[in-house]
Amino acid sequence: MTKKLLFLFDTDPVPSVFDTVVGYDGGADRIVGYGAVTPENVGALVDGCIYTRGPKEKQYTAIFVGGGDMTAGEAVFKAVKKRFFSNFRVSAMLDSNGSNTTAAAGVALLAKASSLKGKKAVVLAGTGPVGMRAAAMLNIEGAEVTITSRQKARAEAAAKAIQERFGFTPTAIEASDNAARAQAVKGAQIVFAAGAIGVPLLDEQDWQSDPTIELIADCNAQPPLGIGGVEATDKAKERHGKIVIGALGLGGLKLKLHRECVGKLFDAADQVFDCENIYAQAKELA
């Protein structure tokens, strides 16, 4: 039987152990990882994928683009797809820093809890990979999206990148500390925290009595958590009259989604998994 081969093209110096483990759990028979992959050096790697098997066997070769930098990952993913032509192609997936699958799991669970259409959503620390993808998925659901950063320039740069990729521009604001972020979420119905590990973004006192906030998701699983008063294990749990989702609460769906998408890479040779269809898959699984 033809082996299912998954090639990890990682923009970081060392290929991700996490993506390797989930790749095997998703159904790959063999995984080979390459680090420090760039648009300039990925061509030869892609050629090795598309020229080595016949048309009927190509579906058993797939590419996964990862790494900690979404901008770098998008550039590599674009270069990978540009290398394809005619039936010389294999399925490919982009999930830099787990951003597509993590954001998709969080937003899908929020959307399951309540309609997001027409609601105001604030993505705290929205300039990172997860935050930018969450902003896009919240927009897909019809929410009015704002992203925050400690630096105005970074927020504006992220908003521009989102506009170029997804065709909409979220509001970009500077919120350098918890007090500023408390002001940023006033009037919002949805708060999505996408900050780095161990960085508190919002105190419990700043959301527990807020009359407008309805839904909260926090992607940080290691204490101190991103949003005070949310437990990592919360999964659509009611706290202070709000529906809250913690990192471990969405983590089960994230892992299931990641595995599911890897498995689907081997269904055909022309699958392309990025933000939109990963999110669609998350909604089905949720």
The domain spans of the chain are: 5-94, 100-250
User: What is the fold, at CATH topology level, of the domain defined by 5-94?
Assistant: Rossmann fold (3.40.50)
Quick: pLDDT tens for 38-89: 999 999 999 999 999 999 999 999 999 999 988 899 999 999 999 999 999 9
- Identify the bridge partners of residue 7 per DSSP, sorted by sequence position: 32, 63
Quick: pLDDT tens for 174-214: 999 999 999 999 999 999 999 988 899 999 999 999 999 99
Per CATH, domain 100-250 is 3.40.50.720: yes
Quick one: pLDDT at residue 196? Answer: 87
Quick one: pLDDT at residue 242? Answer: 98
Do the domains at 5-94 and 100-250 have one common CATH topology?
A: yes
Whole-angstrom Cα distance, residue 7 to residue 176?
A: 39
- Sign of the alpha-carbon torsion through 114, 115, 116, 119: negative
Tokens 């269809």 correspond to: 277
How would you write 52-67 as a 3-class SS string? CCCCCCHHHEEEEEEC
Indicate whether 138 pLDDT > 90.
yes
Calculate the CA dihedral of residues 223, 226, 230, 235 and round it to 10 degrees: -100
Band of pLDDT at residue 270, cut at 50, 70 and 90: very high
pTM for the model stands at: 0.95
